[in-house]
């Protein structure tokens, strides 16, 4: 079974997708981490951000792997070309660099192939922007999470404080969220939009447990 969870930055996708996967015993896949890893690799190797061919080659040729953390409570670790980038892909410089990288059709098609391969052998909860529309248009359960931009900025700020990112500027985070919403929704390649048959969940006033229970119930109805 495939559970596709899409939505804008800060809508709670990661927290919710991880918890739903744990509840159902499914594998969790964070596709944003794959786009972030490609952006990290490009910055690290001084690849020109306008060099579409070079960026596409990174997505096609560099292996991206998810490995379970030693401690179950910790998120799984992400590697590109054997380098652990789990922490570095969450920094503001990657928040910025990932937007143009994720708009390149050749990067998207290379990563979508990998996403489909992973789901061919596992029950998965996959989160991203285009999972229900492009990656798995036939996913059994599709959910589109939303929340107000202010609430999403508040959540992201709290998460960054927890991660020990030092001084956290919530209004800068809000501006970045608005910028990313606009870029992700208006790009030509696989723009962020709900699938016609997605369950729409506005999580602004819902607890994480309520959201997860709602999604798990959609899945259990089909199991
Ligand atoms: O979910 P996230 O913030 O980690 O995603 C990082 C970026 O990657 C985000 O700006 C949009 C893009 N992305 C995408 O275009 N398609 C996906 N399936 C997942 C993420």
Which ligand 1 atom is at minimum distance from the Cα of 127? Answer: 18
- Total structural domains in the chain? 1
Distances (CA, A) of 182 to 1, 31, 64, 131: 31, 19, 27, 19
Alpha-carbon distance of 49 to 16, in angstroms, equals 32
73 pLDDT above the threshold of 80: no
CB neighbours of residue 170 within 10 Å? 15
Please indicate whether residue 89, judged by its CB atom, sits closer than 6 Å to ligand 1: no
Please indicate whether residue 129, judged by its CB atom, sits closer than 6 Å to ligand 1: yes
Q: Whose CA is nearest to atom 10 of ligand 1?
A: 99
- pLDDT computed for residue 160 by the predictor: 84
Please indicate whether residue 176, judged by its CB atom, sits closer than 6 Å to ligand 1: no
Q: Which of 128, 152, 182 to mutate to test the pocket of ligand 1 (most atoms within 8 A of CB)?
A: 128
Per DSSP, the three-state class of 30 is: strand
Give me the DSSP letters along 170-203. HHHHHHHHHHHHHHHHH-SSS-S---TTPEEEE-
Please indicate whether residue 32, judged by its CB atom, sits closer than 6 Å to ligand 1: yes
**Helical residues (DSSP H) of the chain, grouped into ranges:** 13-24, 31-44, 52-61, 92-102, 105-119, 149-162, 170-186, 208-220
At 146, the pLDDT band (50, 70, 90 cuts) reads very high
- pLDDT computed for residue 72 by the predictor: 64
How far is ligand 1, taken at its centre, from the CA of residue 104, in Å? Answer: 12
User: How big is the CA angle at 66 (ends 16 and 168), to the nearest 5 degrees?
Assistant: 55
Please indicate whether residue 128, judged by its CB atom, sits closer than 6 Å to ligand 1: yes
At 10, the pLDDT band (50, 70, 90 cuts) reads confident
Q: Whose CA is nearest to atom 2 of ligand 1?
A: 32
Q: Which of 2, 30, 98 to mutate to test the pocket of ligand 1 (most atoms within 8 A of CB)?
A: 98
Per DSSP, the three-state class of 124 is: strand
At 76, the pLDDT band (50, 70, 90 cuts) reads confident
CATH number of residue 50's parent domain: 3.40.50.300
Residue 121: domain span = 2-220
**pLDDT tens for residues 88-132?**
999 889 989 999 999 999 999 999 999 999 999 989 999 999 999
Bridge partners of 66? Answer: 78
Alpha-carbon distance of 39 to 64, in angstroms, equals 12
Per DSSP, the three-state class of 86 is: coil
């Amino acid at each position: 079974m495939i559970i596709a969870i899409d939505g804008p930055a800060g809508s709670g996708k990661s927290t919710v997708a991880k918890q739903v996967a744990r509840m159902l015993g499914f594998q969790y896949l964070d596709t944003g981490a794959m786009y972030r890893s490609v952006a990290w690799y490009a910055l690290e190797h001084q690849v020109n951000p306008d060099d579409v061919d070079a960026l596409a080659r990174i997505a096609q040729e560099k292996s991206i792997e998810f490995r379970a953390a030693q401690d179950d409570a910790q998120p799984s670790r992400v590697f590109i070309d054997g380098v652990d980038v789990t922490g570095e892909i969450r920094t503001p410089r990657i928040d910025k660099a990932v937007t143009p990288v994720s708009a390149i059709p050749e990067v998207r098609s290379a990563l979508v192939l990998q996403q489909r391969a992973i789901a061919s052998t596992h029950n998965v909860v996959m989160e991203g922007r285009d999972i229900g529309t492009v990656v798995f248009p036939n996913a059994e359960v599709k959910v589109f999470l939303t929340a107000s931009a202010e609430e999403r900025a508040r959540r992201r700020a709290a998460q960054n404080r927890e991660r020990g990112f030092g001084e956290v500027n919530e209004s800068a985070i809000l501006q970045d969220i608005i910028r990313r919403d606009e870029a992700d929704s208006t790009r030509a390649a696989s723009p962020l939009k709900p699938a016609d048959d997605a369950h729409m969940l506005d999580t602004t006033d819902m607890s994480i447990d309520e959201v997860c229970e709602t999604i798990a119930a959609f899945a259990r109805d089909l199991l």
